[in-house]
């Protein structure tokens, strides 16, 4: 009879430990990488973006305004303002399977643009975030 009295306590302890074990597993797997995939695109660090640019084969897209772009942008970036990305494919991005890295000033507009591009069917999108976190060279003017 004493075994049956302890059963509810053991059952309660087991039920309390299961969610904790699941949380621990989730945290360890997500903390193993500083880059994450969200909504059809992947967030990347400036270091990863720089390595991709050095390797080549990637289209770098600045999604800020014309004046922001002209004041300073990452060398080789083309300008496609976030506000112009809607429900039609941007002419400057004809290949929906090409690697595309987007950035803005702080990261908000680049996340929006990456999400919009994913919704348009682009398959290889990377969100660099903001140019304010870019530790490498920038250029000014209207030319990439």
How do 41-43 and 124-130 pair as beta strands? parallel
The CA distance from 20 to 26, in Å, is: 10
Return the structure tokens found at 99. Answer: 């690697």
**104 part of the active site:** yes
Q: What is the pLDDT of residue 13?
A: 52
- 6-17 pLDDT, tens digit each: 656 655 555 555
Q: Check residues 71 and 18 and name the one with the higher pLDDT.
A: 71
CATH of the domain at 100: 3.40.250.10
Is the same domain home to 16 and 50? no
**Closest Cα partner for 76 from 138, 126, 8?**
138
Question: Looking at the DSSP assignment, which residues form a beta bridge with residue 37?
Answer: 42
Is the same domain home to 86 and 57? yes
Is the same domain home to 76 and 127? yes
The single residue of 61, 74, 80, 104 carrying the catalytic annotation is 104
Is the same domain home to 80 and 28? no
For residues 58-77, average pLDDT: 98
Is the same domain home to 27 and 97? no
- 22-35 pLDDT, tens digit each: 433 333 333 333 45
Is the same domain home to 79 and 50? yes
The CA distance from 130 to 110, in Å, is: 8
Domain containing 3: what range? 1-32
Is the same domain home to 53 and 20? no
């Amino acid at each position: 009879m004493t075994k049956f009295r302890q059963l509810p306590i053991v059952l309660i302890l087991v039920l309390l430990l299961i969610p904790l074990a699941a949380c621990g597993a989730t945290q360890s797997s997500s903390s193993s990488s500083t880059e994450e995939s969200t909504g059809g695109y992947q967030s990347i660090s400036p270091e990863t973006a720089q390595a991709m640019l050095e390797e080549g084969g990637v289209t770098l897209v600045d999604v800020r305004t014309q004046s922001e772009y002209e004041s300073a942008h990452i060398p080789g970036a083309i300008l496609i303002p976030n506000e112009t990305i809607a429900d039609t494919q941007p002419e400057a991005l004809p290949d929906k399977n090409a690697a595309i890295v987007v950035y803005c000033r702080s990261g908000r507009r680049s996340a929006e643009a990456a999400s919009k591009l994913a919704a348009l069917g682009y398959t290889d999108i990377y969100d660099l975030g903001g140019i304010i976190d870019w530790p490498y060279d920038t250029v000014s003017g209207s030319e990439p």
